[in-house]
Structure 1
Amino acid sequence: MIQILILTVVHIYGLQIEDKVTYLPPFNMTDFNFSIFSGYLSITDSNQSFHYVFVQSQINNLNNNVPLVLWLNGGPGCSSMIGFLQEIGPFVFLNDDDESLQFNEYSWNRVAHLLFLESPSGVGFSHNPLNITFNDSQTADHNLKVLQEFYSNYPEYQKNPLWLAGESYAGAYIPLLAEKIKKFNDLEVAVINLQGMMIGNGVTNLTHLPISQLIYQKEHQLLPPTFDITACEKDVTSEECEDINYDAWKITKRINPYDIYGYCYYEEKENENELDWIQEMKQFMMIHNDNIVKVTNHELGVPCVQIDNIQNYLNDVQNKRYLHVDENIQWFMCSKSHNKQFKYVSDPPLVMKVLQELLNFDLFTILLYNGDADSVVPWIDTLQALQKLKITITEQWRPYYVKNNQLGGYTQGYSNKLRFVTVRGAGHMVPQNDRITAFYLLNQTLNGEAL
């Protein structure tokens, strides 16, 4: 069952050579001191295959002390190619309207190897021939198996410190994967060197999220002072609360929910249907009537977000060949039904339970950071989730400073190796909105240094 290290040299380097990216327009990879690999990792007991991109660090590639960061974007159902090409990769679209990739001065591969995984298998270029409905526990199982497969094909990185990182619904993906890794390590057959987690604007407690969104909108003057949210404070799952959320979405219709001070891209329509906008917001705000949250296909796109440059880039046939992905798959930021079926069922109580268990283990460093301009997963929601956990504050709320002694945001320390951080002026995708602060948080965390 566990075959991480039992492989032939021919098989190992055969796959690495096959997946090596030689050209990523407009960049020739021979001009750089690191390599990029892109292809598929398969789960042996199913027909699923997962697209991955592995980026070597810009520092010593043979040093086993260089961290390996596994990056997962959220959704559920959104592609980690966003992280690769827009946030933390070495070559990114620096601006929304850029037509070409540019070198990212603050790429996380300056200090770590990066592994981007399009997961679950119904996302991006990954294959999901089974047409199954995913859930949190199952996704964690699959991610562990894919990670094992990565180590099978890249065994030289097995000893490197592993960090799990990501944003949004990765707030569910990452704790559950960490728990699976802990149980795997307890078998004492092979060990995955997991050191910690870094989660940005993470969805950890979906049950409370709708009320957090309303409180945040009121505190930031996005809703009228007289806007009454009492019914949601009493019962967030009530029909009355759902009506309140609808009313709020109508009022904030042209505000980018992911970055309230950012630009909202939208298509002008002669006869705009208000119900379409409400439905679009509903699928991303995840209003629900019980603890189980059903997320189906993202048919209507992502509100206010413009990613034409990335979508055009990844759907260019020649670029697909450079990345060794299936040319027949049309890439979307978040999965759509006409691309492939993607259905997901969330379990918020399970995520909170596992997060508490991880804290009880007291083995892993956990950084939870939030851009304070995000209304989709507001910083107050993460703070509310922390208040439900059995941990104590060990360092009171204080400011921290980044480049040129500028205020980066605020931080608070907790027991059990957990830290909470806000990032001033950043939205839902912190490494895109504030590359300097995001890199600072990464570097300090990896080195175990104070924020």
Structure 2
Amino acid sequence: MEEKVVTSLLLFLFFFLAFHYTAANDGERLVEMIKLKRSQNSLGYRTWDDSKVEYDYIYNSVYVGFQDGLREADKIVELPGQPQGVEFNQFAGYVTVDPKAGRALFYYFAEAANDPSEKPLVLWLNGGPGCSSLGGGAMLELGPFFVNSDNKTLYSNLYAWNKAANMLFLESPAGVGFSYSNTTSDYNASGDKRTTEDSYTFLINWLERFPEYKDRDFFITGESYAGHYIPELANAIVANNNADKTIIKLRGVAIGNAYFDDTTNTKATYEYLWTHAMISSTVHDAIKANCSFDGTYTESCLESMRLADQDVGNIDFYNIYAPVCHDPSKASNSQNSMMVGDPCSDRYVFAYLNLPAVQRALHANTTGLNYPWIDCSDVLHKTWKDAPTTMLPAIKKLIASGIRTWLYSGDIDSIVPVTSTQYSLDILGLPVEKSWRPWYTDNAEVGGYVVEYKGLVFATVRGAGHMVPRYQPQRALTLFSSFLQGKLHP
């Protein structure tokens, strides 16, 4: 009887928190970090210079832990509220990346729904920095299940990416989601370099735990601040492969609405807002007059941007045409939660991942501290120690290595708008091999537009916001399957 009372109280607490949930998503977290650094004029500026790629990606030593028996221990018997008839394997658990510090990263892995031994391995990374690939990518965008509005049952995603690949979702760095460190100072040392090192160490150890995937073609995908994570991790893999370290069969990367550079992104954002009738011509003219977009921000420039932000009002910057969530408690039934882009769905995920039964099924939150799961860390983006001021040299380095490189953009995102990626492509100056054209989904609708450069493919996704699979799931799956095949058909 006492256990039932405790469980009921916990359920009430989690549902209450879900209805009053205020944690930022990865796009909002990115905006917060940019504004913080901009106000301090600490973003810096770096012109195009290949010699200034930030990091040495070759690691002389990588921790490899004992993995025997851990694969079996990580297998998920069944997620609470899971729909009937699920036949693919699921795994979740921790991989230690630094035993001395007690730092461990949490993962969720959904094998392909059909013929997993014949399909590639794909890593998905959300951005932030400091946001969860489990709560974001897996449970809001492209994973096999979404959470119903009752906060405790799941329904199948008809356009899950594990229809095309074996999908691995990583919560990185430590301090994100269920990932943790026993050394508190680790959270204050987070940055791009640490994230790259730990993600690489995670992969080496995960492949030891799942050795059947060592020889499998491997791809990395993600969005937003993963525009930093993915090129850095991919270059680390290439560098260590070339140095005869552990070989990971990286074949390609695909990054959605990628944040590469604040100066071009900020200019592109306000141009996007103006051309979509969201700010006045007066404010737009003031931004053009007062902002040089060279990495420093005068007070008159900052004030002009503040006026622009006020002009826009309360909208979903992720998707400028989407409704916002007002009261998730009034969601009428589970069928309504199946609406594409349900504005309250992140609240359902928050409540679900904080259920004790769910955490037990995921083998999560095992440290005994039992901190609540949140989508984005409240600390990491404020203490982020290092980030290249531009990722374009890393992208160029990746292209030169021969790794398949795709960029894609939802065209109704104002956080990292399509114009920002187009500015980056202008800077890269790659020769066009196949000119701009529409691409189509199976129902013969235009899915978006694509242009193929030498070494890089850029595609838009029509009607998609910052989290492309959340708003246009069918088009996103078509694009993803085409990326794995190396060709986006007309």
- Tell me the TM-score range normalised by the shorter chain: 0.7 to 0.9
- CA distance change for structure 1 residues 380 and 305 in 2, over 3 Å: closer, same or farther? farther
Match runs of 1:116-131 below 5 Å: 116-128=169-181, 129=183, 130-131=186-187
Corresponding residue for 1:445?
483
Corresponding residue for 2:362?
323
Structure 1 residue 159 and structure 2 residue 215: aligned? yes
Aligned residues: 402
- CA distance change for structure 1 residues 411 and 62 in 2, over 3 Å: closer, same or farther? closer
Q: Distance in 2 between matches of 1:3 and 1:58?
A: 32
Deviations 1:213-271 (A, max 9, x none): 1000001000123322213553453222211111111111212111000012358xxxx
Corresponding residue for 1:288?
none
Q: Distance in 1 between matches of 2:133 and 2:377?
A: 12
Corresponding residue for 1:354?
394
Instruction: State whether residues 223 and 255 of structure 2, in contact with CA within 8 Å, keep that contact through their aligned partners in structure 1.
Output: yes
1:204 Cα deviation from its structure 2 partner: 1.1
Structure 1 residue 234 and structure 2 residue 284: aligned? no
Corresponding residue for 1:248?
308
1:75 Cα deviation from its structure 2 partner: 0.4
Deviations 1:174-230 (A, max 9, x none): 000001001110122431000000111110112321111100000100012332221
Structure 1 residue 367 and structure 2 residue 406: aligned? yes
> Helix, strand or coil: the match of 1:326?
coil
- CA distance change for structure 1 residues 254 and 43 in 2, over 3 Å: closer, same or farther? same
Corresponding residue for 1:197?
253
Specify which of 84, 99, 117 is matched with residue 62 of structure 1: 117
More deviation, 432-441/233-242: 233-242
Q: CA RMSD in A?
A: 2.2
1:306 Cα deviation from its structure 2 partner: 5.8
1:345 Cα deviation from its structure 2 partner: 3.5
Instruction: State whether residues 264 and 293 of structure 2, in contact with CA within 8 Å, keep that contact through their aligned partners in structure 1.
Output: no
Q: Distance in 1 between matches of 2:79 and 2:150?
A: 19
1:449 Cα deviation from its structure 2 partner: 2.4
Corresponding residue for 1:298?
none
Q: Distance in 2 between matches of 1:365 and 1:171?
A: 15
Corresponding residue for 1:39?
93
Q: Distance in 1 between matches of 2:179 and 2:116?
A: 27
Q: Distance in 1 between matches of 2:471 and 2:78?
A: 27
Match runs of 1:38-437 below 5 Å: 38-44=92-98, 46-63=101-118, 66-81=119-134, 82-93=136-147, 100-128=153-181, 129=183, 130-227=186-283, 228=285, 229-231=287-289, 234-235=292-293, 237-239=296-298, 240-265=300-325, 307-326=346-365, 328-337=370-379, 343-349=383-389, 351-361=391-401, 363-416=402-455, 418-437=456-475
1:365 Cα deviation from its structure 2 partner: 0.9
Q: Distance in 2 between matches of 1:349 and 1:84?
A: 29
Q: Distance in 2 between matches of 1:390 and 1:403?
A: 33
Instruction: State whether residues 42 and 146 of structure 1, in contact with CA within 8 Å, keep that contact through their aligned partners in structure 2.
Output: yes
- Gaps in structure 2 of 5+ consecutive residues: 1-60, 328-342
1:389 Cα deviation from its structure 2 partner: 1.2
Q: Aligned AA for 2:86?
A: F
Q: Distance in 2 between matches of 1:306 and 1:102?
A: 12
Corresponding residue for 1:282?
none
1:3 Cα deviation from its structure 2 partner: 8.1
More deviation, 322-331/253-262: 322-331
Instruction: State whether residues 207 and 348 of structure 1, in contact with CA within 8 Å, keep that contact through their aligned partners in structure 2.
Output: no
> Helix, strand or coil: the match of 1:43?
strand
Deviations 1:313-365 (A, max 9, x none): 0011111101111160211111124xx8972145343522211111222x111
- CA distance change for structure 1 residues 341 and 211 in 2, over 3 Å: closer, same or farther? closer
- CA distance change for structure 1 residues 359 and 233 in 2, over 3 Å: closer, same or farther? farther
- CA distance change for structure 1 residues 265 and 249 in 2, over 3 Å: closer, same or farther? farther
Instruction: State whether residues 397 and 411 of structure 1, in contact with CA within 8 Å, keep that contact through their aligned partners in structure 2.
Output: yes
Deviations 1:132-155 (A, max 9, x none): 322212211111011111011111
**Normalised TM-score (structure 1):** 0.84
Q: Aligned AA for 2:301?
A: C
Structure 1 residue 20 and structure 2 residue 75: aligned? yes
Deviations 1:276-328 (A, max 9, x none): xxxxxxxxxxxxxxxxxxxxxxxxxxxx8762100000011111101111160
1:71 Cα deviation from its structure 2 partner: 0.4
Q: Distance in 1 between matches of 2:132 and 2:204?
A: 21
Greater relative CO (CA pairs within 8 A, separation 6+): 2
Q: Distance in 1 between matches of 2:62 and 2:403?
A: 23
> Helix, strand or coil: the match of 2:220?
strand
Instruction: State whether residues 479 and 488 of structure 2, in contact with CA within 8 Å, keep that contact through their aligned partners in structure 1.
Output: no
Q: Aligned AA for 1:351?
A: M
Q: Aligned AA for 2:305?
A: N
Q: Distance in 1 between matches of 2:290 and 2:349?
A: 38
Q: Distance in 2 between matches of 1:40 and 1:378?
A: 35
Deviations 1:75-114 (A, max 9, x none): 00111011111111111137x7876321011111111001
Q: Distance in 2 between matches of 1:256 and 1:411?
A: 26
Q: Distance in 2 between matches of 1:137 and 1:323?
A: 28
Q: Distance in 2 between matches of 1:169 and 1:401?
A: 28
- Gaps in structure 1 of 5+ consecutive residues: 268-303
Instruction: State whether residues 264 and 420 of structure 2, in contact with CA within 8 Å, keep that contact through their aligned partners in structure 1.
Output: yes
**Normalised TM-score (structure 2):** 0.78
Instruction: State whether residues 92 and 103 of structure 1, in contact with CA within 8 Å, keep that contact through their aligned partners in structure 2.
Output: yes
- CA distance change for structure 1 residues 235 and 390 in 2, over 3 Å: closer, same or farther? closer
